[in-house]
Amino acid sequence: MEIKILNMKIALIFSFFFLSIGILFSQEKQLELFPQNVDISDYTNCICNDTINIKQIIKNKDIYENEKLSYDDSKFTFADINDDGVCEILHYFSSGVRGWPYDYLTIYMFLDTLNKIGEFSSFLLNFAESDGEFLQINYGKISGHKTNPIYYNSVWRFNGKEYAPSYSPNLNKGEFKSKGLNAYKNKMYEDAYIYFKNVLAIPHHSPAQLLESANDVAITLIKLNRYDEVQPLLEKYIKDATNENVIASAYYNIGLAMEKLGNKKSAYLNFKKSCDLNETNACKTKLLELKNKQQSTE
C-alpha cells in the first residue's frame, strides 16, 4: 500500500514538473518579435510574362466570378515575394463602399497554373521581411468602437500552399506596452524590447504616439548596450511628430546613447535640443555634466 502511495506521489510530481515545463514553453512561445515591415515596391525587379492576359484572368476570378462589383479600378503589383526572380501577382481592388480604396488584396503565384495563395482585406496589411523563403505579412485587426479602435496584429507566413496565420498573440497594443513596462521594471530587458518593438508594428493614432512608443524601445536598447541603434530608430519618427515634450524625450535618449558611445559633442547637441523643447532637470544636469567634463580636460 505504501509503495502504491509513493508511486502515486512520484507520478504526481513528474506530472506537475512536465505541466510546469509545458506552461513555461507555452509562455515563451507566445513572445515573438513581429517582423519588420518592408516596402513592396522594393521587390518589383522580377520577370512576369503575359501580364495583360493574367490581369484579365485575375479580374474575372476576383470580381466577376465572385459576383463582386469593382467600384474602383483594379491595381496590380508584380513583385518577387519569394526571391526566385519570378513575379507573384498582387491584385488590389474594391468591392462595395467600404470607405477606403483597394480594400481587398489577392496574391497569385504562377507556376504551371495560376494559384491563389492569399486573400485579405488590404486595410492594416503590410508586407514584412522574409522568413528565409517568402515575405511575411503583418495583418492587423480592429476591435471595439470605430472612434476609439483597439488594434491587434498577427503574422502570416506561407505554409507551402498558401498564406496562413503563424503567430497571433491575443494582446492588443496597450497590453503589449503594459507587459513591456513590467518587464523593464523587473530588468527583463530582452523581453521588454520585444514587447515594445511589437507595439511599434501596431497602428497608432498619431505620429506623437508612434514616437512615444519608439522612445520605449530606445531606452530599452540603451539598457541592452545597443547604443548605435538608438539614433537611427528615433530619427525615423521624430520628423513626423509635433508634440514637443515627446520629441524632447527622443533627443534626450539620443543624447544618452551618444554619451555611451563616447561622442560627447553629439551628446551635448542632443541634450541641448531636448532642453530647448522641454527644459527638464534631467537634460539640464546632463548639459552641466558634459560642460564640466569638457572644462576639466582643457
Using the predicted structure, report yes or no on whether residue 152 has a pLDDT greater than 80.
yes
Residue 113: what pLDDT?
Answer: 85
Residue 24: what pLDDT?
Answer: 43
Q: Is residue 115 part of a domain?
A: yes
Q: What are phi and psi of 119, to 5 degrees?
A: -145, 125
Percentage of the chain lying above the pLDDT 70 cut: 83
pLDDT mean over 21-31: 51
3-state DSSP call for residue 164?
A: strand
pLDDT mean over 85-102: 76
Last residue within a domain, chosen from 133, 167, 201: 167
Residue among 33, 47, 39 at smallest CA distance from 83: 47
Q: For residue 27, name the pLDDT band (cuts at 50, 70, 90).
A: very low
Q: What is the CATH number of the domain that holds 211?
A: 1.25.40.10
Q: Quick one: 189 and 280 in the same domain? A: yes
Last residue within a domain, chosen from 149, 167, 185: 167
Are 243 and 208 a contacting pair, CB within 8 Å?
Answer: yes
Q: For residue 240, name the pLDDT band (cuts at 50, 70, 90).
A: very high
Last residue within a domain, chosen from 137, 167, 197: 167
Are 167 and 32 a contacting pair, CB within 8 Å?
Answer: yes
Q: What is the mean pLDDT of the chain?
A: 86
Nearest-10 crossing angle of helices 207-223, 244-260: 20
pLDDT one-digit tens code per residue, 33-88: 999 999 999 999 998 877 788 888 898 888 776 655 555 568 899 999 999 999 99
Percentage of the chain lying above the pLDDT 90 cut: 64
Q: Side-chain half-sphere of 77: how many Cα atoms within 13 Å?
A: 17
The whole domain housing 192 covers: 173-297
Q: For residue 165, name the pLDDT band (cuts at 50, 70, 90).
A: very high
Are 129 and 121 a contacting pair, CB within 8 Å?
Answer: no
pLDDT one-digit tens code per residue, 109-133: 987 789 999 999 888 899 999 999 9
Number of other CB atoms surrounding residue 222 within 10 Å? 18
Identify the residue with better confidence: 287 or 68.
287
Q: How far apart are CA 276 and CA 266, in angstroms?
A: 15
Q: Is residue 197 part of a domain?
A: yes
Using the predicted structure, report yes or no on whether residue 19 has a pLDDT greater than 50.
no
pLDDT one-digit tens code per residue, 191-236: 999 999 999 989 888 999 999 999 999 999 999 999 999 999 999 9
Are 240 and 207 a contacting pair, CB within 8 Å?
Answer: yes
Q: Quick one: 242 and 279 in the same domain? A: yes
pLDDT one-digit tens code per residue, 252-261: 999 999 999 9
Residue among 252, 224, 245 at smallest CA distance from 234: 252
Q: For residue 158, name the pLDDT band (cuts at 50, 70, 90).
A: very high
Please name the amino acid found at residue 189: Y
- Our count of domains for the chain comes to 2
